Amino acid sequence: MKQKNILKIMAGLILFFLGGFLFLKVVKVPLTENLFIHYGINAYPLYQDFEIKQGFVPNRSKLLGFRFAFKKTNTNEHPVKIELSRETETQSGRINLPLYLATFSTKDIETGENYNFWLSPPLSTNKEKFWLRFFAPVSTESASLSPIVSRVNNYLEGETYSSVRVLDGDVIFQPIYETDVPHFISYYLNKIAFGKPFFNNKFFLLGLFAGWLVIFLGVQLFLMLTLLKSTFNLKAAFLLIFTLILLGVILGYQSQPQFIFTKL
């Protein structure tokens, strides 16, 4: 074997492992955690004198947003607001410091549909306690929207309050974090191993992981083929295009109707 070919193979192997390291540790992906598996549903329509607050503690360092579902009780249209605040210790006691605010209309919401609310910009966290406040500046008669609330207290790291009393359940929400590919995979493999989410989603998740593996191996193979060939070849180009399309499809599985939390 010619020395030139040996050098090419060695360079290809270096690129393979370097690319693998960058893909597994540098590439960041959104992870939507499912904190609630089995729950009944309660609805408390929001109006001027009735709001709902949900406490929670993030368990990862970079918070990108939340996923919520709502229940509509009638067809009235009005604005709804969600405020994110951080619980802060001051000389006069603990207060909730507002950080972000999202405003949307009930006309853009359908019962049971999942909606992503993205923080702009993302929020770095360190095990602090945060609060989500749901409210609507409308009269009792016009109230038409409620966050979906569980009938029992499933989320033990946060309490749920209304304007008049402590609620027995929790607002159903899914925090969206920034993480790397190994943590993304380990989270969902753990869900599969322990039967969560439900069985009919397992094949989808296994396909998702297979897609990630194809992307990883495909990109590395493209680099090696391009290096070993004296000229750029169509097969390598096709492989690169295929992996990029697959990446878009896999990331698109999390795509839901989008809203934005703006920083205060």
CATH number at residue 127: 2.60.120
Instruction: Note whether 52 and 172 are same-domain residues.
Output: yes
What are 130's two structure tokens?
Answer: 């945060």
Please tell me the total count of domains within the chain.
2
pLDDT at 198 exceeding the cut of 50? no
With cut-offs at 50, 70 and 90, classify the pLDDT of residue 181: confident
Tell me whether strands 160-162 and 145-147 are parallel, antiparallel or unpaired: unpaired
Short-list 202, 213, 197, CA closest to 247 = 213
Cα atoms in the Cβ-side hemisphere of radius 13 Å centred on 196: 10
Instruction: Note whether 92 and 166 are same-domain residues.
Output: yes
**52: β partners:** 134, 162
Domain that residue 196 falls in = 3-32+182-252
CB of 136 closer than 8 Å to CB of 81: yes
Instruction: Note whether 193 and 173 are same-domain residues.
Output: no
Instruction: Note whether 49 and 127 are same-domain residues.
Output: yes
pLDDT at 18 exceeding the cut of 80? no
Instruction: Note whether 79 and 200 are same-domain residues.
Output: no
Tell me whether strands 62-72 and 173-180 are parallel, antiparallel or unpaired: antiparallel
Among the listed ranges 59-73, 233-247, 249-263, which one has the minimum average pLDDT value?
233-247
Instruction: Note whether 48 and 173 are same-domain residues.
Output: yes
Instruction: Note whether 194 and 246 are same-domain residues.
Output: yes
Instruction: Note whether 150 and 86 are same-domain residues.
Output: yes
Instruction: Note whether 59 and 129 are same-domain residues.
Output: yes
Instruction: Note whether 130 and 241 are same-domain residues.
Output: no
> Which stretch, 105-119, 214-228, 229-243, has highest mean pLDDT?
105-119
Instruction: Note whether 71 and 127 are same-domain residues.
Output: yes
Instruction: Note whether 56 and 13 are same-domain residues.
Output: no
pLDDT at 132 exceeding the cut of 70? yes
Taking residues 140-151, report their average pLDDT.
Answer: 89
